[in-house]
Amino acid sequence: LADLARVGLTPEADCAVEGLSGGQKQRVALARALHRGGELILGDEPLSAVDPRQSGALAEVLRAAFPTAILALHDVAIARAFATRVIGLRQGRFLFDLPVGDLDATRIEALYG
């Protein structure tokens, strides 16, 4: 239950996963990762279906729990707030690998333009 509490799902602890919303299912997956522990987490949009009011807090939980996280993200604000490095890929092509502080409008335009 502690890991469910960390992702804000204590009230849903007795619910079947099939009855949960997309964001709640995503938080269940994060709770499972927290329960397993380890030094590394790999995630493909781990916060995309989560309520925007909760995504920052959940990103902080992940950062505190996992020394290394390799995440596919489209939310530049989350990347800026929690990443140390950013690798830009577009249509399977490598664009850049740089400290998050160097992520500027030109590079964002190259990614999403």
Ordered by where they begin, the domains of the chain are: 2-82 (3.40.50.300)
Q: What is the pLDDT of residues 79-101, one digit of tens each?
A: 998 899 999 999 999 999 999 99
Prediction pTM value: 0.80
pLDDT exceeds cutoff 90 at 35: yes
- Residue-wise DSSP of 19-50: GS-HHHHHHHHHHHHHHH--SEEEEESTTTTS
pLDDT for 52 = 84
pLDDT for 45 = 92
Mode of pairing for the β-strands spanning 68-72 and 40-44: parallel
Q: What is the pLDDT of residues 41-65, one digit of tens each?
A: 999 999 988 888 888 899 999 999 9
